[in-house]
Amino acid sequence: MDISTIIGFVVAIAALLGSMLTGGGLGQFIDVPSVLVVFGGLIGVTFVKWPMDTVKAVATVGLKSLKFEPVDPLKTIEQMSEYANLARSQSIFALEEEAKKDAAKNNAFLRTALILAADNKPVEEIEKVLKIEIESLESRHKTGQDLFGGMAEDGPAMGMLGTLIGLVIMLNNMSDPGSIGPAMAVALLTTYYGAVVANIFCNPIKNKISIRSAEEVANMNIIMAGIIGIVSGQNPKSIKSALASFLPPSQRPEDDM
């Protein structure tokens, strides 16, 4: 898990716990019926909206986005430059052996690109296949963003429903004025739970998926452009220079700035 995710969750949860403890203790912020309304309702609504397989897949995407270690685009550019030099000094068929090494084994997209190049496929076919791979990944990540975004909206909505239920119960027991305050506090807890679910978990995960998706797609585009350059027979130096254009000037290799 990258450090920003850990810091973010720790700081946010610590801030909430700290404010609750200084306000009189955690006990007054725990109410089982409120938890059931918000979390049970949210899970139920999510399964109504989305197929089971999609929910399972998105849960995996969400976890991966939190654990994902950003790929250094400079390393990818250097890697593609090495492949270009290898193809130039030996032959493009040498890339087949590179596809069996750890760097490619740990990156399915890179492995596919190397195999397509080693198979001497036409540039148009390679570009078509790799673009489909990129679009497929973007579609999966978009589904993940939509699901967590929907949960971020539904969490507070379920919290409001729980608050309304609590208010109805409270208004039906107005004979004891002393119970109104505590009953109102319990009613508001569902709104609190809904806000926590949305703003501490669902929205941040949605945004993290978006950021990680953009990083992964950018890396895939660098790989695709590099492979196309190699198959087209471009000079390794020209390929490296072209790939460097994917980066802001301040991040480009020194010899390409």
Higher pLDDT, 116 or 105: 116
- Alpha-carbon gap, residue 16 to 38, rounded angstroms: 18
Question: Model pTM?
Answer: 0.85
**Domain assignment present for 131:** yes
Answer yes or no: are the C-beta atoms of 84 and 226 closer than 8 Å: yes
- pLDDT tens, position by position, 184-235: 888 899 999 999 999 999 999 999 999 999 999 999 999 999 999 999 999 9
- Alpha-carbon gap, residue 132 to 113, rounded angstroms: 12
Answer yes or no: are the C-beta atoms of 193 and 35 closer than 8 Å: yes
Q: How far apart are the first and last CA of the chain?
A: 32
SS3 of residue 257 by DSSP: coil
**Domain assignment present for 53:** yes
Residues 57, 174, single domain; the answer is yes
Q: What is the mean pLDDT of the chain?
A: 89
Q: How confident is the model at residue 61 (pLDDT cuts 50, 70, 90)?
A: confident
Q: How confident is the model at residue 24 (pLDDT cuts 50, 70, 90)?
A: confident
- Residue 156 pLDDT > 60: yes
SS3 of residue 78 by DSSP: helix
Instruction: Look up residue 83 and give its two tokens.
Output: 């492949």
Q: How confident is the model at residue 150 (pLDDT cuts 50, 70, 90)?
A: very high
How does DSSP assign 83-152, residue by residue? HHHHHHHS-GGGHHHHTTSHHHHT-HHHHHHHHHHHTT--HHHHHHHHHHHHHHHHHHHHHHHHHHHHHH
Please give the radius of gyration of the chain, using alpha carbons only, rounded to the nearest integer. 26
Answer yes or no: are the C-beta atoms of 133 and 112 closer than 8 Å: yes
SS3 of residue 47 by DSSP: helix
**Domain assignment present for 226:** yes
Q: What's residue 254's pLDDT?
A: 66
- Residue 255 pLDDT > 70: no
Residues 16, 64, single domain; the answer is no
Q: How confident is the model at residue 27 (pLDDT cuts 50, 70, 90)?
A: confident
- Residue 25 pLDDT > 90: no
- Residue 256 pLDDT > 60: no
Residues 63, 5, single domain; the answer is no
**Domain assignment present for 116:** yes
Number of domains composing the chain = 2
Q: How confident is the model at residue 39 (pLDDT cuts 50, 70, 90)?
A: very high
Answer yes or no: are the C-beta atoms of 62 and 148 closer than 8 Å: yes
**Domain assignment present for 21:** yes
Residues 19, 143, single domain; the answer is no
Residues 35, 4, single domain; the answer is no
Portion of the chain with pLDDT greater than 70, in percent = 97
- Residue 250 pLDDT > 70: yes
Residues 215, 233, single domain; the answer is yes
Residues 84, 198, single domain; the answer is yes
- Residue 170 pLDDT > 90: no
Consecutive H or E run containing 200: none
Residues 116, 163, single domain; the answer is yes
Average the pLDDT over 51-65 and give the result. 86
Average the pLDDT over 124-134 and give the result. 96
Q: How confident is the model at residue 101 (pLDDT cuts 50, 70, 90)?
A: confident
**Domain assignment present for 256:** no
Residues 1, 102, single domain; the answer is no
* Residue given tokens 């986005």 in the structure block: 65
Instruction: Look up residue 191 and give its two tokens.
Output: 């709104």
**Domain assignment present for 75:** yes
Residues 13, 78, single domain; the answer is no
Average the pLDDT over 52-59 and give the result. 90
**Domain assignment present for 257:** no
Q: What's residue 232's pLDDT?
A: 93
* Residue given tokens 């895939």 in the structure block: 220
- Alpha-carbon gap, residue 138 to 214, rounded angstroms: 9
Portion of the chain with pLDDT greater than 90, in percent = 63
Residues 74, 190, single domain; the answer is yes
Residues 172, 58, single domain; the answer is yes
Print the domain residue range for 93: 31-251
